[in-house]
């Protein structure tokens, strides 16, 4: 995690893909189809387009300041005091964000596979693993990512193929039974989670090797397109299998895996698939914790971020087991409040810096 | 409550065993922040173990009036039914 740690562009793209797809593949299909019905995939396309715009802003700033993180170029663009003012809420939201992902893991386990296990035991083990991963550094995370990415995406495709005998394409129609309103509402949810969160990724983009930097833009856009295609695939598959029920059943992909039944040979494989989906949560939380550590140390001008990994993880763990333990309140937070918080804490600073960078460039000409 | 305490103490012991020997070699800022984070851990640990309705991210306290879940203002959410 020191300044010498570098990864290549493909590894960064795989981290980005995990960051964007990790938890959303399990969570996002249900709220989208619940709000927008069959138009859930259209809502995702709208949110994806907004995500592309945000990524364009992130990459514009990355091209202008290739060796500097978001905090470092913010100091150059708007000064130290304004940077501190913008990044204190950013850091606080990141604490909440890391905790939020682990809350979701806890809720997922509680309602699917480990119903009798106390959530604090699940969360504690996960946080211990996440903290050790982050302490190992971004190079170690990047080396692990390829195998587990193949595992996670392999299982997603496997589920979609194995439930093929249950597809009812007629369930996809009508596309927007209640008009465009619910679709825009669902797009707002998907924009808040996961697309507006990609702004935080600007903190670790300078970790890419200098020779690989020109290809980062192309790779990250490709990663975002793969993320969008995967999420649309899972939404469409869950609508085709579950029909009108797809909005009411949480964790759509897991629900699909429960329905797999092939000649009494392949059945009840949901636990295997559930654990492979958890890999996505684990990686997202690890990447976010790494970004949080980097944000805290750069904001406060500290040199050693490794020493702070355990206490920061401990704070996040305790936030995950003391806040939003009620599933309904967590759902409301994700659907209503989280997009707003993300806009204020993540997107606001990014747009401000992009505006200032563009203005300064024009003035320099 | 006993299970929660054991879990917390085990994690805290692990953290301190790993970090204390290295803490002396770090800068003043790191040590100060480490102390501040430990204070936050202690506060949240009290909330966790005792289920006390103290201010937290989902329960904001302003003066004498609590504003449970700032986003919705739903008063039934104060100290939500903990599922564990």
Query: Would you call A314 and B37 a contact, using CB atoms and an 8 Å cutoff?
Result: yes
The model's pTM is 0.90
Does residue B68 fall inside a structural domain? yes
What's the number of domains chain B is made of?
1
The pLDDT of A277-291, averaged and rounded, is 91
* Interval B18-33: pLDDT, tens: 999 988 888 888 999 9
Give the residue on B whose Cα is nearest the Cα of A99. B57
Query: Would you call B83 and A325 a contact, using CB atoms and an 8 Å cutoff?
Result: yes
Query: Would you call B45 and A110 a contact, using CB atoms and an 8 Å cutoff?
Result: no
By percentage, how much of chain A surpasses pLDDT 70?
Answer: 99
Distance from CA of B4 to the nearest CA of A (A): 8
What's the number of domains chain A is made of?
1
Does residue B7 fall inside a structural domain? yes
DSSP H helices, A65-179, are 70-78, 80-111, 119-136, 138-162
Which among B19, B26, B29 has the least Cβ separation from residue A301? B29
Domain residue limits at A95: 9-354
Query: Would you call B37 and A124 a contact, using CB atoms and an 8 Å cutoff?
Result: no
DSSP state of A6: -
Does residue A365 fall inside a structural domain? no
Residue (of A289, A19, A273) closest to A129 by Cα position: A289
Distance from CA of A239 to the nearest CA of B (A): 30
**Contacts of residue A301, Cβ cutoff 8 Å, sequence gap at least 6:** B29
* Interval B51-74: pLDDT, tens: 888 888 776 544 444 444 444 444
Distance from CA of B78 to the nearest CA of A (A): 11
The pLDDT of A223-241, averaged and rounded, is 94
Query: How far are the Cα atoms of A151, A307, A309 from residue B22, in angstroms, in the given order?
Result: 37, 8, 13
CATH number reported for the structural domain that contains residue A123 in this entry: 1.20.1740.10
Q: Which residues of B touch A126 (CB under 8 A)?
A: none
Domain residue limits at B12: 2-77
Contact call for residues A48 and A228 (beta carbons, < 8 A) = yes
* Interval A52-91: pLDDT, tens: 999 999 999 999 999 898 999 999 999 999 999 999 999 9
Does residue B82 fall inside a structural domain? no
The pLDDT of A127-145, averaged and rounded, is 93
A69 backbone dihedrals φ, ψ, rounded to 5°: -85, 180
Residue (of A322, A290, A330, A326) closest to A306 by Cα position: A290
Give this complex's ipTM.
0.85
Which among A120, A307, A319 has the least Cβ separation from residue B57? A319
* Interval A293-333: pLDDT, tens: 999 999 998 888 889 999 999 999 999 999 877 777 777 77
Does residue A141 fall inside a structural domain? yes
Which among B11, B22, B84 has the least Cβ separation from residue A314? B11
The answer to whether the peptide bond before residue A329 is cis (omega within 30 degrees of 0) is no
What was the pLDDT predicted at B70? 45
Mean confidence (pLDDT) of chain A = 89
**pLDDT class for A4, splitting at 50, 70, 90?**
low
**pLDDT class for A287, splitting at 50, 70, 90?**
very high
Query: Would you call B44 and A318 a contact, using CB atoms and an 8 Å cutoff?
Result: yes
Q: How many residues are there in chain A?
A: 365
């Amino acid at each position: 995690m020191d300044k010498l740690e570098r990864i290549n562009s493909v590894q960064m793209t795989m981290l980005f893909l995990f960051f964007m797809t990790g938890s959303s593949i399990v969570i996002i299909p249900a709220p989208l189809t619940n709000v927008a019905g069959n138009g859930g995939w259209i809502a995702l396309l709208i949110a994806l387009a907004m995500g592309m715009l945000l990524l364009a802003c992130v990459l514009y700033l990355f091209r202008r300041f290739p060796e500097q993180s978001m905090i470092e170029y913010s100091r150059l663009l708007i000064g130290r005091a304004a940077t501190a003012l913008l990044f204190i809420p950013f850091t606080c939201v990141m604490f909440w964000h890391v905790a939020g992902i682990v809350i979701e893991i806890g809720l997922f386990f509680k309602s699917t596979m480990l119903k009798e296990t106390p959530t604090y035991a699940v969360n504690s083990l996960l946080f211990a693993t996440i903290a050790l991963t982050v302490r190992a550094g971004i190079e170690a995370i990047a080396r692990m990512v390829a195998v587990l990415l193949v595992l996670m995406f392999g299982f997603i495709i496997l589920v979609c193929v194995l439930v093929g005998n249950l597809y009812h394409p007629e369930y996809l129609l009508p596309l927007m039974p209640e008009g465009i309103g619910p679709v825009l509402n669902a797009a707002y949810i998907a924009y808040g989670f996961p697309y507006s969160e990609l702004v935080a990724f600007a903190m670790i983009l300078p970790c890419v090797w200098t020779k690989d930097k020109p290809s980062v833009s192309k790779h990250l856009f490709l990663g975002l397109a793969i993320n969008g295609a995967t999420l649309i695939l899972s939404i469409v598959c869950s609508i085709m299998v579950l029909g009108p029920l797809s909005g009411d059943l949480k964790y759509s992909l897991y629900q699909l895996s429960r329905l797999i039944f092939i000649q009494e040979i392949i059945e009840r494989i949901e636990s295997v698939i559930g654990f492979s989906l958890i890999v996505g949560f684990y990686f997202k939380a690890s990447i976010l914790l790494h970004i949080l550590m980097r944000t805290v140390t750069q904001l406060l001008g500290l040199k050693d971020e490794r020493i702070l990994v355990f206490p920061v993880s401990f704070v996040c763990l305790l936030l995950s087991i003391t806040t939003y333990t009620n599933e309904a309140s967590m759902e409301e937070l994700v659907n209503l409040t989280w997009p707003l918080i993300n806009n204020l804490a993540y997107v606001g600073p990014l747009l401000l810096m992009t505006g200032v960078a563009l203005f300064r460039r024009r003035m320099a000409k | 409550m006993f299970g929660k305490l054991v879990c917390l103490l085990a994690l805290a012991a692990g953290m301190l065993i790993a970090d204390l020997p290295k803490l002396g070699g770090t800068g003043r800022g790191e040590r100060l922040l480490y102390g501040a984070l430990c204070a936050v851990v202690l506060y949240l640990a009290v909330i966790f173990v005792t289920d006390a309705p103290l201010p937290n991210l989902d329960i904001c306290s302003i003066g004498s009036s609590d504003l449970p879940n700032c986003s919705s203002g739903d008063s039934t959410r104060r100290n939500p039914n903990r599922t564990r």
